[in-house]
């Protein structure tokens, strides 16, 4: 019954693993996987799953997830086919599945400034809004005008203030069943060359300072107020620490990388060790930026 319904509303697979769908390349089997092809299709899928009390998990590009090795018996809904965008005067409307680097480059070519800070973040607009993602002193809260949300069975719009943005947080954390389906972002005009040069410089800096050659979920921990997670990790001697194929990067110690066939259990064991040591030495509680699921 589940398979037949999902096939009517999107691209369906029953042979996916979280390791196929996350940038960390970890995670076990998934019973049902679907990519809705429209917002209406997503609404139908969600209504069906809730009506039948079937568990589900929303993902975008899977760039901020560490998923356990066990099987997941529910439905994973991926929004990457909701990937259209439209430039409207001083704003761009982007569906949740639009990749941030793709949109940043497209805007840059038209002399439109907006997403330069996110041009190296391998995530979708929906996920970036959810997390209030940021880099280089910029964040989504700086550019979001309105967010389009599927709440229960209706589409609503929340403005920037309604979103209650703070550091790596939005109102969506308090309402896990609300789903970002799109967002309007502010645009400003700048010379294309200036935007593209800035993006190229930031990509160069990322390559120099981050272990992009290995699977990871990006920064593992949030930066505590007036401090940096990597400094605290270095301070407790965990730069380069490994457990099997999971390692704290020598290049950037706030990145925990998969050097081969790593699993979430080893990843989280390292996380908990670091948290304990940092708490013991500095009396600071390091909070994860990466989301745990099915662990």
Q: Which residues pair with 148 in a beta bridge?
A: 157, 182
Domain ranges of the chain: 2-78, 85-194, 211-293
Sheet of strand 30-36: strand arrangement: 10-13, 30-36, 72-78, 56-59
pLDDT tens-digit map of 105-162: 999 999 999 999 999 999 999 999 999 999 888 999 999 999 999 998 899 999 999 9
pLDDT tens-digit map of 17-57: 999 999 999 999 999 999 999 999 999 999 999 999 999 99
Query: Which of 288, 275, 273 has its CA nearest to residue 221?
Result: 288
Q: Are 16 and 76 in contact (CB under 8 A)?
A: yes
Q: Which residues pair with 233 in a beta bridge?
A: none
DSSP SS3 for 21? helix
Q: Does domain 2-78 have CATH number 3.30.43.10?
A: yes
Query: Which of 109, 86, 110, 114 has its CA nearest to residue 98?
Result: 86
Q: Grade residue 295 by pLDDT with cuts at 50, 70 and 90.
A: low
Q: Look at the alpha carbons of 194, 199, 203, 205 in this order and tell me if their dihedral is positive or negative.
A: positive
Domain 211-293 top-level CATH class:
alpha beta
pLDDT tens-digit map of 217-276: 999 999 999 999 999 999 999 999 999 999 999 999 999 999 999 999 999 999 999 999
Q: What's the CA gap between 292 and 71, in Å, rounded?
A: 15
Q: What's the CA gap between 293 and 271, in Å, rounded?
A: 14
For the domain bounded by 85-194, which CATH number is listed?
A: 3.30.465.10
Average pLDDT, the chain: 96
Phi, psi of 18 (to 5 degrees): -60, -30
Give catalytic residue positions.
168, 219, 289
Q: What's the CA gap between 144 and 114, in Å, rounded?
A: 10
DSSP SS3 for 236? coil
| CA distance to 67, 74, 83, 86, 114, per residue, from 93 (Å) | 31, 31, 11, 5, 12
Query: Which of 93, 166, 290 has its CA nearest to residue 270?
Result: 290
Q: What's the CA gap between 24 and 260, in Å, rounded?
A: 10
pTM of the entire predicted model: 0.94
């Amino acid at each position: 019954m589940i398979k037949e319904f999902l096939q009517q509303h999107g691209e369906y697979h029953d042979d996916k693993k979280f390791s196929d769908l996350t940038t960390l390349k970890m995670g076990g089997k998934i019973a049902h996987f679907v990519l809705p092809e429209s917002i209406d299709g997503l609404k139908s899928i969600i209504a069906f799953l809730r009506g039948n009390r079937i568990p589900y998990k929303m993902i975008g590009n899977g760039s901020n997830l560490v998923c356990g090795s066990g099987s997941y018996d529910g439905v994973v809904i991926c929004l990457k086919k909701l990937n259209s965008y439209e430039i409207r005067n001083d704003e761009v409307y982007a569906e949740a599945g639009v990749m941030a680097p793709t949109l940043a480059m497209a805007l840059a070519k038209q002399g439109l400034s907006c997403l330069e800070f996110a041009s190296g973040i391998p995530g979708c607009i929906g996920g970036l809004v959810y997390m209030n993602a940021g880099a280089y002193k910029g964040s989504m809260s700086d550019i979001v005008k309105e967010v389009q949300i599927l709440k229960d069975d209706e589409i609503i719009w929340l403005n920037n203030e309604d979103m209650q943005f703070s550091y790596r947080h939005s109102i969506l954390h308090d309402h896990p069943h609300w789903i970002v389906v799109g967002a309007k972002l502010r645009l400003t005009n700048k010379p294309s060359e200036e935007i593209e040069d800035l993006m190229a410089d930031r990509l160069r800096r990322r390559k120099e300072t981050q272990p992009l050659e290995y699977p990871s979920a990006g920064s593992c921990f949030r930066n505590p107020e007036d401090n940096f997670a990597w400094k605290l990790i270095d301070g407790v001697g965990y730069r380069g620490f490994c457990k099997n194929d999971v390692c704290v990067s020598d290049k950037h110690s706030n990145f925990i990388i998969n050097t081969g066939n790593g699993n979430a259990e080893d990843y989280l064991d390292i996380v908990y060790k670091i948290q304990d040591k940092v708490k013991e030495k500095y009396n600071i509680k390091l909070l994860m930026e990466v989301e745990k699921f099915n662990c």
